Amino acid sequence: MSDPSKAVTYDELGFVGKIRIDNPPVNALNREVRTGMAEALTQATANPRVKVVLITSAGSMFSAGADLKEFDGQLAGPSLQQLQETIEMAPVPVVAAISGLALGGGLELALACHYRLAHKSAKLGLPEITLGIVPGAGGTQRLPRLIGSRAALEMILSGAPITAADAKSKGLVDEVIEGDLHDSAIKFCKQLVHDGGGPRPTRDLTVPDRLDESVISEALGAHARALRGRTTQTLVVEAVKAATLPFAQGIAVEAAIANKSLASRESLALRHVFFAERESGKVEAVPERSTQPEIERVAIVGAGTMGNGIAMAFADAGRSVTLIDNDEAALTRSRDIIRSNYASSVKRGRIRQETVDERTSRISGSTKLSAVSSADIAIEAVFEDMDLKKRVLSDLDSLFPSERLIATNTSTLSITELGRATAHPGRVLGLHFFVPAHASKLLEIVRGKETSSDTIATALHVAKVLKKIAVVSGDGFGFIGNRMMLDGYFREAEQLLLEGASPQQVDAALEQFGFAMGPQRVSDLGGNDVGTKVRLQLYKRESRPDPYFVIADRLTELGRLGQKTGRGFYRYQDGGRDALPDPEVEKLIETLARERGIARRKIGDEEIVERCILALINVGALVLEEGIASRASDVDVVWTSGYGFPRHLGGPMFYADTLGLAHVARRIWHYQEKLGPYWRPAGLLEKLAGENSSFEQWDRQRKRAIPTPAA
């Protein structure tokens, strides 16, 4: 009899032995599941009445694969590979019925079965590469036997799941089921026995093709951009090549390669980011709710770039949006911009015109602030000006039911001060969207001193609705990301320019490190004036000693705003995006350095990278000790999902841990001696370095807590 409290249940339906995986939330193949399945298989094959075994799953997916949490310790119970051996060698046929997702080890489990059925909505994939892992439970050996080496290599390198129909056409599944999967699978099993279909071990198949060098380089080339700076792909190629060996040899090669990948820094970093992204949305002292408030209608005040992007983000998530602006012309412009943004997505084949029509029909405009009253939440996205924003928030507060959330979209202003412009500061918080708001992954949720936990809980739900990765930040200048960018990373990049490096050298060095774009190219893309405006807000709150962005601010003064004006740190020809060195900028930098008595010299790429990254890490530590961020892993999420820090290095704080904090502190002292007092290690960094500890340990020791607002 089946026991519903177990991760695996076993039932006999006539001569069909049915094994069901039931391990929420994702049916990960942990020890309990592997043990349960091994026991169920023993029971099924020991019973002569059982003629066929069916493997199914409870919940919405077949299985998300191996339990990633088990990778850090000693594996207990039967391994997945042992379980697969039992399945493949079973005396009766074993059938997998796949619904939802079959990923990684989940798909590999199905590959070891003798027959595979997939519901038409199912998706099948080997996403291990996204975690720096080479599929290690036969994926690189059985998949080529079923679909060929070339197709297998493509699937493993892309990491993206394929549809059931695609899987059928490739020969990965035997049948696609349109109706009820369970009933159809039982029928299939009965028919199989009736037809005398026996076990069909995948290992006995011959791989139909070999990987030659041209196929390999074409496949690697197709994913070169996504896999820039990575190494797992080379291991994948090695493992798939081994599929043409006899199975026992090939599987041994795979095991050795998979273990190597699991132990790599790259994989540790990628797994760290995977869990950090899931952790960031959990904040203690914020109520876990059994039901969430409805977010069906959203009011956005301000039809500028941010307002438009946020409107698109909600429309994409199926919500109705009222875009409010007192300027009728701004609303018309906004409609055109939104249409043209969607049109370019249609042109690139990303969405269909019907979808666009549906989405745009959800966005309406109004010139009256009172239109906000029927919305579930209101987001203020007017120009970045304290007085203007205060006025809008105060008006919103009086027009909008007092229990509903009011967010302000700002990257610089004090949420506490803005909240105090209303009679209900508990319901006011910051939502820092990144440009373009409809496509960017990160959302910083900023808590002011009076923001209530309930408001934060609603904002976390809003992030889920938008499918964005949320990180809660305290209310300090620049929050988490911009503070680290301005005071750490970009500031040091400018300092290096003054000392003698060129913009192209700094950018190339950091791109080589793994950033998609170096700091100067980023400034030119976003607009140097944007940074200058941010700093003007900063100087209203705090001061910074000279030289602090003297180059970027002078470029703004000169109208060299970046790509949009064809000149910035670089020259751009004919509206193009190619950043060309500009001798005028070189001269300007030399003058600014001379005025400050900074001696210029040749600077090596290694120093550029070291100083920029150490500065970033150090301000990250400050952000943590000030309580602006509550977890080092949150800082990593902000930088990998919002600022282009290479994911395979795990984010700045994880990267610091891999360098060793004692080393990091030593190098900061070194630069302090060489360059002066602005290179002072953060207290937290010195403390952890002194204790031979790490940011990861610091995270572990601390309870989850909402960052306390900065004093």
> Using CB under 6 A, which residues numbered 548 to 607 contact ligand 3H9?
none
- CA of 136: how far to CAs of 127, 287, 301, in Å? 12, 40, 51
3-state secondary structure of 245: coil
- Decide: is 161 part of the binding site for ligand 3H9 (CB under 6 A): no
Asked if 508 and 671 touch (Cβ cutoff 8 Å), the reply is: no
Spatial CB neighbours of 138, under 8 Å, sequence gap ≥ 6: 81, 84, 108, 111, 112, 202, 251, 254
> Using CB under 6 A, which residues numbered 111 to 130 contact ligand 3H9?
127-128
Q: Tell me how far apart the alpha carbons of residues 696 and 638 are, in angstroms, rounded to a whole number.
A: 16
- Decide: is 273 part of the binding site for ligand 3H9 (CB under 6 A): no
- CA of 131: how far to CAs of 264, 414, 501, in Å? 11, 37, 35
Contacting ligand 3H9 (CB under 6 A), which of 2, 35, 58, 68?
68
Task: Tell me if residue 85 is catalytic.
Answer: no
Asked if 636 and 276 touch (Cβ cutoff 8 Å), the reply is: yes
Contacting ligand 3H9 (CB under 6 A), which of 17, 36, 132, 136?
136
30/563 with CB nearer ligand 3H9: 30
- Decide: is 135 part of the binding site for ligand 3H9 (CB under 6 A): yes
22/529 with CB nearer ligand 3H9: 22
> Using CB under 6 A, which residues numbered 38 to 67 contact ligand 3H9?
64-67
CB of 60 to ligand 3H9, least distance (A): 8
Task: Tell me if residue 128 is catalytic.
Answer: yes
- CA of 436: how far to CAs of 134, 240, 251, 300, 465, in Å? 34, 39, 45, 16, 17
Candidates 12, 39, 85, 108; catalytic one = 108
Which residue do the tokens 């350095």 mark? 593
CB of 458 to ligand 3H9, least distance (A): 19
Q: Which stretch binds ligand 3H9 (CB under 6 A): 102-110, 422-430, 593-601, 681-689?
A: 102-110
CB of 112 to ligand 3H9, least distance (A): 12
Q: Which residue is nearest to ligand 3H9 (CB)?
A: 104
- Decide: is 236 part of the binding site for ligand 3H9 (CB under 6 A): no
**Total residues at the site for ligand 3H9 (CB under 6 A)?**
24
368 CB-side CA count, 13 A: 6
Q: In this structure, what DSSP letter does residue 435 have? A: S
Q: Tell me how far apart the alpha carbons of residues 509 and 694 are, in angstroms, rounded to a whole number.
A: 27
- CA of 587: how far to CAs of 60, 527, 582, in Å? 62, 21, 9
> Using CB under 6 A, which residues numbered 10 to 39 contact ligand 3H9?
25-26, 28
Binding mask 75-94 for ligand 3H9 (x = CB under 6 A): -----x--------------
93/104 with CB nearer ligand 3H9: 104
Contacting ligand 3H9 (CB under 6 A), which of 104, 302, 430, 620?
104
Contacting ligand 3H9 (CB under 6 A), which of 88, 108, 487, 699?
108
- Decide: is 137 part of the binding site for ligand 3H9 (CB under 6 A): yes
The end-to-end CA distance of the chain, in Å, is 61
Q: Tell me how far apart the alpha carbons of residues 143 and 130 are, in angstroms, rounded to a whole number.
A: 18
- Decide: is 96 part of the binding site for ligand 3H9 (CB under 6 A): no
Asked if 80 and 106 touch (Cβ cutoff 8 Å), the reply is: no
Q: Which two tokens stand for residue 368?
A: 């009256």
Tell me the helices (H) and strands (E) count for the chain, helix number first.
30, 17
Candidates 12, 32, 128, 606; catalytic one = 128
Query: What's 559-570 look like in SS3?
Result: CCCEHHHCECCC
Contacting ligand 3H9 (CB under 6 A), which of 187, 278, 596, 702?
278
Binding footprint of ligand 3H9 on the chain (CB under 6 A): 25-26, 28, 64-69, 80, 101, 103-105, 108, 127-128, 131, 133, 135-137, 139, 278
Instruction: List active site positions.
Output: 108, 128
